[in-house]
Amino acid sequence: EPEVTQTPSHQVTQMGQEVILRCVPISNHLYFYWYRQILGQKVEFLVSFYNNEISEKSEIFDDQFSVERPDGSNFTLKIRSTKLEDSAMYFCASRDPGLNTGELFFGEGSRLTVL
Amino acid sequence: AQSVAQPEDQVNVAEGNPLTVKCTYSVSGNPYLFWYVQYPNRGLQFLLKYITGDNLVKGSYGFEAEFNKSQTSFHLKKPSALVSDSALYFCAVRDRNSGYSTLTFGKGTMLLVSP
């Protein structure tokens, strides 16, 4: 069964450093998303991406964050200068363009720890 | 704006007993509703969804959920719980009138099934 894959599974970084989280969505999907989950809290929407541009973003997704689809397979989330409060599990998700009913398929997440 | 409330942080049930995990939602239009499950150190797995039609929807692993428009609820149910059902359950909503496919999640309910 096709799946969304994310790397790294866990990254530890120093405050102020840049981090790139990588995702390979399901191959025929065209809508891509990043969500995050701070430990013990709810899953929060960050950004959605379609047709090589951001289609929607939340208040969390400030100028420190950026997304990119550098080639035909990868979808990346970059945090320019990490803060302690960026420590969270980051989930990538994708959606089948033929399913307008909004069902998302999630990866297993990348845990980011900022020290 | 759309939102989801899961009033219980944790639900405890004995194996073999029926279980219910509660969810209420708020959208400006009509909803698409979803349940996802998260096992420890894993991503979110899709369980079931309500799009239209029959208010009782059936999903994976014997779970079902009932859409109640008047009560704006979408409670998750299972007739007979298994220990392996123990996990974190998230309810999510999307306004079908929204041009975007972003899902809004509740804070999650931990289900603990005892042997």
What pLDDT, on the 0 to 100 scale, is given for residue B29? 83
What pLDDT, on the 0 to 100 scale, is given for residue B77? 97
B113 DSSP β-pair partners: B13
**To probe the interface with A, which of B67, B96, B101 has the most A CB atoms within 10 Å?**
B101
Look at residues A92, A113, A114 and name the one whose alpha carbon lies nearest to residue A7: A92
Can you tell me the mean pLDDT for B103-114? 94
**Tokens describing residue B77:** 């149910």
**Tokens describing residue A29:** 């999907």
User: What is the rounded average pLDDT for all residues in chain A?
Assistant: 91
pLDDT in tens, B40-95: 878 889 999 998 888 999 998 999 999 999 999 999 999 999 999 999 999 999 88
pLDDT in tens, A19-32: 999 999 998 888 89
- Cβ pair B60, B7 in contact under 8 A: no
Does the pLDDT at position B30 exceed 90? no
**To probe the interface with B, which of A29, A30, A42, A96 has the most B CB atoms within 10 Å?**
A42
3-class SS of residue B85 = helix
d(CA A92, CA A22): 8
- Residue found by looking up tokens 């450093």 in the block: A17
Nearest CA in chain A to B6: A42
Q: At B100, is the pLDDT very low, low, confident or very high (cuts 50, 70, 90)?
A: low
